[in-house]
Structure 1
Amino acid sequence: MNIKKGSKSLLKNLNRSIVINMIREKGPISRVVIAKATGLERASITNIVNYLLKKKLIKEVGQDKSSGGRRPTFLDINYNHKTVCGVKIEAERIIFGLTNLRGKIISRSEEKFPRGSKSQEILELIIKNIDRIIKSTNLLGIGIGVSGFVNLEKGISIYSPILNWKNVDLAKPLKEKYRVPVFISNDVNTLTLAEKWYGAGKKYKNFICITVGEGIGSGIVINGKFYGGAIGGAGEIGHICININGPKCRCGERGCLEVFASDYFLIEEAKKAIAQGKGEFKKPTPKELLQAAKCGDIVAKDIFKIMGRNLGIGVKNAVNLLNPEAIIVGGERIDAYSFFSPAFKEAVKGHSFPEEAKKLDIILTELGEDGWIIGAATLVIRDFFKLPL
């Protein structure tokens, strides 16, 4: 943390932020250590700590050993004082989670809806479920992850091909109803945030989180900070072109990575195999294909292998462009990771610049499916603590 002693005109806000973040990062911690680390006067520390204790944002959690005199009392964040609602909107379901201020899930639920439902219908489902899960809780705010382009400042889903949304205002009606901060972000970016704070990304300053499933997306962290681009649209790796003469993507372009490595590719290849009487699967679905692969079906295994190679070719472009320390792979289709990962890793490392490939880690997300809602909730938590990432 870069710590600066604030001027008198900024003492209250700046120094409270310094102290609460020192407690968040280093807690449990004593007042004496906070004073030494921040350079703030003991009297200022006392006033700030008393304020935070009164607001129940921090708590006293025990005493340190002392060589003599009064033993110093430890302070820590009162992580359970407030709750946060994290929401992930998918093509046919919404995942809801209630977390504490540490991102720990308190409760989790889902609501399914027909594909192609109108945005107003989905918003009504969100409100119905939030009403249910926040009863008797001290709600701090609501965070929502949704696919596609998002206007972060206004909380508007600008464009989501999966949901067929254009300019859907999610934040305004929720702010008006619940009177709490509401943050909307691209869903892969929320997962990336969760992995950075609590999961596989904690030890890296430069990494790309790739998600594979119905779509393909990525979140980017550079020098320890999330990179969103000029309008928050960075990371749409699923729509980089790897074959200009390839099939048409739902975004309207041809040859996007998504048509060669997402569930769309698996379904189309399964359909071809079934039409030719090949394979031991009867339905052209990713789950059916995976089950066949687990039973040793060569055709199913080959489809996953080709998918992995295609994905790797797309990802190696990002590796050559950004030179990350790690590629963290997540999303629904990691259930088939053992079948596509060898070809994926070979394509990434085999086609990236050798020096970059040698030092590149390729690993799985640690938080699994919960990462989506933990990340959405962390949008609120991050703002609460006023952190840069």
Structure 2
Amino acid sequence: MYPRLATRAEATVFTMVLTRGPVTRVEIARRSGLSSAAVTKAARPFIEAGYLEELQATERTTPGAGRPASPLTIRAQREFFTGVKITDDELIGVVTDLRAQPLVSARHPLDTMSPEGVLAALADLVAELLAADPAYRERCHWLGLAVSGDVDQVHGMVRYSPFLGWRQVPLARLAAEATGLNVTVENDVKSLTVAEQWFGEGVGASSFALVTVGTGIGCGLVVNDRVVPGWNGVAGEIGHIPVGGDEPECHCGGRGCVEAIAGAAPIVAAVRAATGDASLSIDAAIDVAHAGNTAAREVFARAGHAIGLGMAAMANLVGPERIIVTGDVQGLAAYDLFEEQINRSFTSQAFGAAADCRLLLRPRSFEQWARGAAAVAIQTHFSLQER
């Protein structure tokens, strides 16, 4: 078992090595404000337990710089974590190391969205993933689950997931009973945000936003190095910023929301109406627009306008250093149809220096969303428990 984080110094040192290592004690002290002695004391139990190790000392090149430094690094395969992204028709799972690097992945189709059916499929998927290597079963004790919708991470409750049709499902408890693992449950966008914060494009940025484009329009926020959970678990819902006046009606009960214009279902409905082809799927709608159909392209341009306005409103309120734009498969396949209008609307609506925020397009597969669920499990496992 790993040494429980007992002090803020231990949490600071371990997290810094995990997310930024290899890093020397001197650099940790400089970045954290801890004394060198405090850094050494905090690192010792993790070295003894095999979670951290010292690399070979690097030679100093500056005269009088002191002894060569021995960087600390994570022993990434000291422990493993399982992450699963739950969609309305499929489970996507990964096993990762301590740095949330996927080592093995698997998918399991769903023939039902009932919690009971999903949990049965989840137990099968987790068993398949952990059977890939005896070390996984031996050293994997945590499962992270990523679900769209309103999620209460503290209590492991899915309060409302419109795409799954779930309300008040105690998913963490049920999944723990089904798999025998410790379980964390988080909103899928927030999970991906944690992965970017600790292991991706957000490393080194004290403030950034992650915007997802696809079935819905989501947003995760990091401000002053902390993911913004929001009161009662709701924050960053730019998909429900009203940008379209009184129309169209949104599934949330509001009107004119970004998601009611730029979500996959509204886009399909609008392209069907514009082309007169009621059989179009989202993939076919994208193909029609790519083929040059003017009416279809206008639908996607309107969607891009709505997304850009929502992003600008968020940037004006929060002032992120960068915005990472990603999405599901359909969202990214259509991104070139959105991109020009997103950038134009964002730039025109963002106030002052907010318009200088960097927009980064970073494709992320569903396996990466599952990795986000594992990253939340890692963060939960190694976060300092307040006393």
TM-score of the superposition, structure 2-length normalised? 0.84
Identical counterparts, % of pairs: 29
**Equivalent position SS for 1:327:** strand
**Equivalent position SS for 1:231:** helix
Confirm or deny: 8 A CA contact 1:157 1:167 kept in the other structure.
Answer: yes
Confirm or deny: 8 A CA contact 1:61 1:76 kept in the other structure.
Answer: yes
**Equivalent position SS for 2:126:** helix
* Structure 2 Cα separation of the partners of residues 354 and 21 of structure 1: 35
* Structure 1 Cα separation of the partners of residues 266 and 86 of structure 2: 22
AA in 1 matched with 2:293: D
1:203-242, aligned counterparts within 5 Å?
A: 203-242=204-243
**Equivalent position SS for 2:231:** coil
Q: Does 1:57 align with 2:51?
A: yes
Query: Deviations for 1:326-384, whole angstroms, at most 9, x for unmatched residues?
Result: 22211120221111111111111112224421x22222136454431221111121123
Q: Does 1:193 align with 2:187?
A: no
AA in 1 matched with 2:110: F
* Structure 2 Cα separation of the partners of residues 59 and 148 of structure 1: 40
Select 2:290's aligned residue among 289, 294, 297.
294
**Equivalent position SS for 2:186:** strand
AA in 2 matched with 1:338: D
Select 1:352's aligned residue among 335, 345, 350.
350
Aligned residue in 2 for 1:4 = none
**Equivalent position SS for 1:228:** coil
1:23 and 1:345, CA in 2 relative to 1: closer, same or farther beyond 3 A? closer
Quote how far apart the aligned CAs of 1:56 are: 2.3
Q: Does 1:259 align with 2:255?
A: no
* Structure 2 Cα separation of the partners of residues 261 and 29 of structure 1: 43
* Structure 1 Cα separation of the partners of residues 80 and 156 of structure 2: 20
Quote how far apart the aligned CAs of 1:181 are: 2.7
**Equivalent position SS for 1:185:** strand
**Equivalent position SS for 1:250:** coil
Aligned residue in 1 for 2:145 = 144
Quote how far apart the aligned CAs of 1:232 are: 0.9
* Structure 2 Cα separation of the partners of residues 130 and 178 of structure 1: 7
Q: Which runs of 5+ in 1 are unaligned?
A: 1-9
Query: Deviations for 1:131-166, whole angstroms, at most 9, x for unmatched residues?
Result: 111132110311111111111111010011111110
* Structure 1 Cα separation of the partners of residues 366 and 224 of structure 2: 26
Tell which deviates more after alignment, 236-245 or 87-96: 236-245
Confirm or deny: 8 A CA contact 1:200 1:366 kept in the other structure.
Answer: no
1:13-162, aligned counterparts within 5 Å?
A: 16-17=10-11, 19-21=13-15, 23-24=17-18, 27-28=21-22, 38-39=34-35, 41=37, 45=40, 49=44, 51-65=45-59, 75-114=72-111, 117-135=113-131, 136=134, 137=136, 138-162=139-163
AA in 2 matched with 1:375: G
Aligned residue in 2 for 1:175 = 176
Confirm or deny: 8 A CA contact 1:35 1:41 kept in the other structure.
Answer: no
Quote how far apart the aligned CAs of 1:28 are: 3.8
Quote how far apart the aligned CAs of 1:313 are: 2.2
* Structure 1 Cα separation of the partners of residues 244 and 310 of structure 2: 10
AA in 2 matched with 1:255: G
Quote how far apart the aligned CAs of 1:71 are: 8.0
1:273 and 1:205, CA in 2 relative to 1: closer, same or farther beyond 3 A? same
* Structure 1 Cα separation of the partners of residues 28 and 306 of structure 2: 51
* Structure 1 Cα separation of the partners of residues 73 and 284 of structure 2: 49
Query: Deviations for 1:43-99, whole angstroms, at most 9, x for unmatched residues?
Result: x947963x43443222344344499xx987654211111110111111211111110
Confirm or deny: 8 A CA contact 1:192 1:209 kept in the other structure.
Answer: yes
Tell which deviates more after alignment, 326-335 or 162-171: 326-335
* Structure 2 Cα separation of the partners of residues 11 and 202 of structure 1: 22
1:246 and 1:22, CA in 2 relative to 1: closer, same or farther beyond 3 A? closer
Quote how far apart the aligned CAs of 1:208 are: 2.0
**Equivalent position SS for 2:210:** strand
1:12 and 1:253, CA in 2 relative to 1: closer, same or farther beyond 3 A? closer
1:223 and 1:113, CA in 2 relative to 1: closer, same or farther beyond 3 A? same
* Structure 2 Cα separation of the partners of residues 205 and 41 of structure 1: 26
* Structure 1 Cα separation of the partners of residues 383 and 346 of structure 2: 36
* Structure 1 Cα separation of the partners of residues 90 and 358 of structure 2: 32
Quote how far apart the aligned CAs of 1:308 are: 0.7
* Structure 1 Cα separation of the partners of residues 318 and 68 of structure 2: 50
Aligned residue in 1 for 2:372 = 375
AA in 2 matched with 1:24: L
* Structure 1 Cα separation of the partners of residues 21 and 205 of structure 2: 22
Q: Which has the larger radius of gyration?
A: 1
* Structure 1 Cα separation of the partners of residues 26 and 350 of structure 2: 50
* Structure 2 Cα separation of the partners of residues 105 and 11 of structure 1: 25
1:63 and 1:248, CA in 2 relative to 1: closer, same or farther beyond 3 A? same
Confirm or deny: 8 A CA contact 2:275 2:296 kept in the other structure.
Answer: no
* Structure 1 Cα separation of the partners of residues 80 and 5 of structure 2: 28
Tell which deviates more after alignment, 191-200 or 26-35: 26-35
Confirm or deny: 8 A CA contact 1:328 1:365 kept in the other structure.
Answer: yes
